Structure 1
Amino acid sequence: MTIEKRVDRVTFKISGPDATHLLHDVLTPPVLEDGEARWFALLAPQGKLLAEGLIGWADGAHWLDVPAAVTENFFKRMKMYRLRAKMDIEMLAETHAVGWSADAPETGIVHRDGRGEGLGYRVIAALADAEDWAEGTGQAKARIAAGIAEMGPDFATEEVFPHDIGMDHLGGVDFKKGCYVGQEVVSRMQHRGTARRRPVIVSGIVAGARGDAVVIGGKSVGTLGGVVGGTSVAIARIDKITHGSAASVAGAPVSLALPQWARYDFATPGGDSEDD
């Protein structure tokens, strides 16, 4: 069984009697000790993402992965939020590797990515057990096909709100629990229905790259994330796109589609889109 090594992700292990309560109060999703992996974000007070990844419970601890580029800031902020809580925060960049597998392996800390079908499994293992892992594009292809944007390949820190990448539709935000960092802004977007930037799958890309504009009628309606195999997840203004819109990237035509999980739609000709 092949496991892809994800050199752009770093593992955190957070444990202790107060860990679940504190993480539930700081991160965006429900944080439970049920073994299920959930999409999480740590937000700035203004509501934009500082870090994101999967969080899952195993062996008496919460296991998180975050983009390598934000590791130090995430570590610093989590230690600040800890205060006097009885919990341990371990950054495992020097001892563990993060991997991905299409099927469930029999080694390591394994959590299924439940955000969509075919997204495989996140694997965390000691470096000695990950020596034969190699980099690949399987995880990126599966993620893009599902219409899921990721910090690093698709957007930078403090660049998007949770709604912009569909976290509100994929279990990454809990709107019923109490306050967490950035909660006021995110809740306001939810209740007012003001989210208009959403993930859109772009295919048929022949010359585009991350950061290029998706153009309709001579105007930019969104920005490409990383391109793999001619496809990408763009964060786009769905109220500026109608079904059948002729879109292009770098002057070449492309096709636009909504993720299967999306409860939003493109705009109707002559009207505005609706987002439930």
Structure 2
Amino acid sequence: MAPLILTDRAVISVRGADAPAFLQSLLSADCEALISGDACPAALLTPQGKILFDMIVFRDESGFLVDCRSQFVDALAKRLSFYRLRSKVEICLQESFQVVWLPPPVAPAGEFSDDPRSAELGSRGLSNNCSGKDGSSAYHQLRVALGIAEAGLDYDPDAVFAHEANLDILSGVSFSKGCFIGQEVVSRMHHRGTVRKRFLPCEVEGDIPQTGTPVNVGERTIGTIGSSAGRQVLSLLRLDHLEAALSSKTPILAGGAILTPRIPDWLRGEIPNLLRQSA
């Protein structure tokens, strides 16, 4: 199968002698642990632990290439440059690069590797000579079905914590590497188990609710709708209220639609109480 282009993604290069330490001090993931050809999900957080930008970080022989949403590429490059100070780092937009994708079950080869968040999401890579078709729609349909949230589609910058977007489960946060922006809040939530909300995929019965629509159980709002694909939506849901709704078999509504939350395999170990209620 020919590679598909994710036309809503763009690439920033981070090069220079200090590039590993520079990204290590800023991003949530352990970028220094990457070797050439590796990739990891990561985020640049606020000091309060909320996501400003999410991304996939690739390492090559010359440094790092950051795969992010096109709508945020200028703002992300500007923010990284703001933190550069005296670091020996060059931050550049790479307009000739394309983010390319192979949907499953096509095996990764060449410049492709499994998506570092989940192999079920297919494989991705970077190219400067791909002539493939636009695969964004198919990619997002699969992403929503798997319950993998992304900034700009499911939530706004500075709106959700890293745990709420499931970055802690999707290998996007290192709890052992040391300090990074927002690290104190992220570590506290992790060690105290105070994660109250997470994104979950939901099946929809009725009209598809728009992004931002409140999710209600009775008179109580328990979450909001993210993006949709087909008959499925991603929803940021308050877990304790969702557990109570499932236990009492109270309808979960968004607008006039009925939602049936699903728990992806990769998330099952993190919310056992919810899993029992949904069984």
TM-score by structure 1 length?
Answer: 0.88
Match of 1:71 in 2: 73
Q: What secondary structure is seen at the aligned counterpart in 2 of 1:53?
A: strand
Alignment partners' CA distance in 2, 1:260 and 1:23: 31
Q: What secondary structure is seen at the aligned counterpart in 1 of 2:92?
A: strand
1:246 corresponds to which of 239, 244, 251: 251
Superposition deviation, residue 223 in structure 1: 0.9
Q: What secondary structure is seen at the aligned counterpart in 2 of 1:226?
A: strand
Match of 2:210 in 1: 209
Question: CA 1:188–1:105 in 2, change beyond 3 Å: closer, same or farther?
Answer: closer
Question: In the TM superposition, what whole-angstrom CA distance separates every residue of 1:144-200 from its partner, at most 9, and x where no partner exists?
Answer: 222110111111111111011111112111111211011112122222221101111
Match of 1:261 in 2: 266
The amino acid across from 1:260 in the alignment is D
Question: CA 1:226–1:2 in 2, change beyond 3 Å: closer, same or farther?
Answer: farther
Contact 2:206 2:256 in 1 (8 A): no
Is residue 134 from structure 1 mapped to residue 95 from structure 2 by the alignment? no
Match of 2:22 in 1: 22
Question: CA 1:233–1:174 in 2, change beyond 3 Å: closer, same or farther?
Answer: same
TM-score by structure 2 length?
Answer: 0.87
Alignment partners' CA distance in 1, 2:38 and 2:132: 27
Is residue 114 from structure 1 mapped to residue 116 from structure 2 by the alignment? yes
Question: CA 1:7–1:136 in 2, change beyond 3 Å: closer, same or farther?
Answer: closer
Task: Flag structure 1 segments of 5+ consecutive residues without an equivalent.
Answer: 270-276
Question: CA 1:33–1:169 in 2, change beyond 3 Å: closer, same or farther?
Answer: closer
Q: Whose helix proportion is higher, 1 or 2?
A: 2
Question: CA 1:110–1:90 in 2, change beyond 3 Å: closer, same or farther?
Answer: farther
Superposition deviation, residue 69 in structure 1: 2.2
Match of 1:274 in 2: none
Does 167-176 or 112-121 show the bigger shift?
112-121
Question: CA 1:220–1:250 in 2, change beyond 3 Å: closer, same or farther?
Answer: same
Superposition deviation, residue 45 in structure 1: 1.6
Contact 1:50 1:70 in 2 (8 A): no
Question: In the TM superposition, what whole-angstrom CA distance separates every residue of 1:24-82 from its partner, at most 9, and x where no partner exists?
Answer: 11100111232332110001122111111111212332121112222222111211222
Alignment partners' CA distance in 1, 2:156 and 2:7: 17
Match of 2:157 in 1: 157
Same amino acid, percent of matched pairs: 31
The amino acid across from 1:246 in the alignment is P
Question: CA 1:268–1:88 in 2, change beyond 3 Å: closer, same or farther?
Answer: closer
1:43 corresponds to which of 42, 45, 48: 45
Match of 1:196 in 2: 196
RMSD (CA atoms)? 2.3
Alignment partners' CA distance in 1, 2:97 and 2:274: 45
Superposition deviation, residue 245 in structure 1: 4.5
Mapping of 1:164-183 within 5 angstroms?
Answer: 164-183=164-183
